Each structure stands twice: as C-alpha cells, then as structure tokens.
Amino acid sequence: MLIEAGSTRLLVDAGLPLATLQRQLTRAHLSVKPNAIIVTHAHGDHCRHAAELSEHFQAPLYVSEATRRSVRLGGRRTPRVFGPRAPFSIGDIAVTALTVPHDAPQVSLRFEHGGEAAAIATDLGEVPPGLLDHLAGCDTVLIESNHDHEMLWSGPYPYHLKRRVSGGHGHLSNAQTHGLLRSLDRGVRTVVLMHLSQTNNTPELARASAAEALCDHPATLLVSSQFGVTSLGAEPVGPPQLELFSR
C-alpha cells in the first residue's frame, strides 16, 4: 500500500519486486519515490523485497522490534524500530501500530494527517481487544476478508493449512470481518476488503457478507483485487489529505 500526505509518501510492506511495483505504479499513473518503507511482519509476501526496495529508493525501513528479531532483512540499512501503541512520525504522517494475532508478529497500522486518518488491518486470525478503538475516528479502513469458511474446508488445502488459516493466528474469514464491521465507527467513510484468497474466497462472497454487515452504515464498500490497483484519493481541492493506493 502506498500512502501519500503532504510531502510524505510511505510504502507499506515490500513483498513485490521492484519491476512489479513499478509496473503497478505506472498503472495507477504514479511515479513515486517513497520516503520510507514500513514492514508489518516477517512473512515473505510482505517483506521479501524490503532490502531491494530500500536500496533502490534510498528509503529507510521501519519494523517492529518483534519483526526485527524474526527475520534478517538484509541490505546495508539498519531498520528503524517502532513500538506498539507508541505513535511516531515519518515526515507529515503520524503512525500508530497495534499488535494483532498472527503466526508471525504482526501490527495493524493507523495513519493520520491533516485531520484525517486511515488504518490497515490484514493478516490476523481474530479481532483482538483494542482493534475497534484503533480504527475509531478513521475515514478509511482497509480490512482483511481472507476466506469463506465453507470454501476453505471443502477446498484443496491440506488439513494442516486449513487449520492454520482458520486458527486464531491465521486470517480473518468473511464471517469474522462481518462481525467487526457491524461494530465499526459510523464515522468511517470507506471500507476496503483486502487479502482475499484466490482459492478460498470470491469477491462476490466477501462483498455480500460485508455489505450485509454495513447495511445501516453510510460507508462506501470496495473490494481490492490482487491483480489491480485500488486508488483512494482525496479530491484535488483544499488542503492535502491522505491518499492511498493499494494492491
């Protein structure tokens, strides 16, 4: 995810190689040099190319202490370490991290600038205490809706992987996300469903479940594709606000 506010651009996670990332940015009509890269956790699809991208963009890496201990990111840059619940700033953007349950130490990130806020919460097996408070006051929430329970358990994954995905340190199901969205702050204007499994979910199932949860909520609902670019930008009037580009 790419976040832009004021003169600051942040890249969240680094699972894509440089050529693929640049191709996606071109599709979004962007040519962007991030000021920093934040890695949420130590799984390869989120950190595999962190050193490569950090070197190319000459951008510092930010990681939690638990992630720093969990993986050797490589490269010549020493990562900058942040702590959970302790806000820190990168340029014009204030960032707050909340620890969430996953089978690698993981954080949900909240970003604030110019009176607006956005948060991303993916790769978590259950909704922990404090997550709703972490999301409260956000204009945009990007939330995992990874799998449909029936598709997962009737699908091709081996048993041990089904248990991992559906466990408390795996990934949120459509039903779990439904429960979270039912309690979402009514100030949220946009909800984006993220991290959908290609094998164990469909955009239609995830959207239908979330739409039911949000039936009395004023938020706009979007589903982010693994193969496209979702742009969530402020209108080009008034002061600069948070802009998000997510793959």
pTM, two decimal places: 0.90
Share of the chain above pLDDT 70, in %: 91
Q: What are phi and psi of 82, to 5 degrees?
A: -115, 160
Please give the pLDDT value at position 74: 66
What is the per-residue pLDDT for 226?
Answer: 76
Over residues 92-108, the mean pLDDT reads: 95
Residue 238 has pLDDT above 50, yes or no: no
> Are the beta carbons of 191 and 141 closer than 8 angstroms?
yes
Query: Is the confidence at residue 35, as pLDDT, over 80?
Result: yes
Over residues 48-87, the pLDDT tens digits come to 999 899 999 999 999 998 888 877 776 677 889 998 878 8
Q: How confident is the model at residue 91 (pLDDT cuts 50, 70, 90)?
A: very high
pLDDT band at 142 (very low <50, low <70, confident <90, very high): very high
20-34, 124-138, 172-186: range with lowest mean pLDDT: 20-34
Bridge partners (DSSP) of residue 2 are: 11, 245
Give me the pLDDT at residue 149, please: 97
Would you state the structure tokens that stand for residue 64, as one six-digit string?
């939690």
Backbone torsion region of residue 133, taken as left when φ is above 0, otherwise alpha when ψ lies between -120 and 50, otherwise beta? alpha
pLDDT value of position 239: 36
Q: Which residues pair with 3 in a beta bridge?
A: 10, 244
pLDDT at 240 exceeding the cut of 50: no
Averaged over 124-136, what is the pLDDT?
96
Average predicted confidence (pLDDT) for the chain: 89
Mean pLDDT of 193-201: 96
CA dihedral 20, 5, 92, 237 (to 10 degrees): 160
What stretches of the chain show up as alpha helix (H) in DSSP? 18-27, 44-47, 50-57, 65-70, 131-135, 149-154, 159-166, 174-182, 203-213
Alpha-carbon distances, residue 128 vs 134, 142, 180, 222, 230 (angstroms): 10, 16, 10, 23, 27
Find the mean pLDDT for residues 176-197.
Answer: 96
Given a cut of 80, whether residue 28 has pLDDT beyond it is: no
- Band of pLDDT at residue 230, cut at 50, 70 and 90: confident
R_g of the chain, CA atoms, integer Å: 17
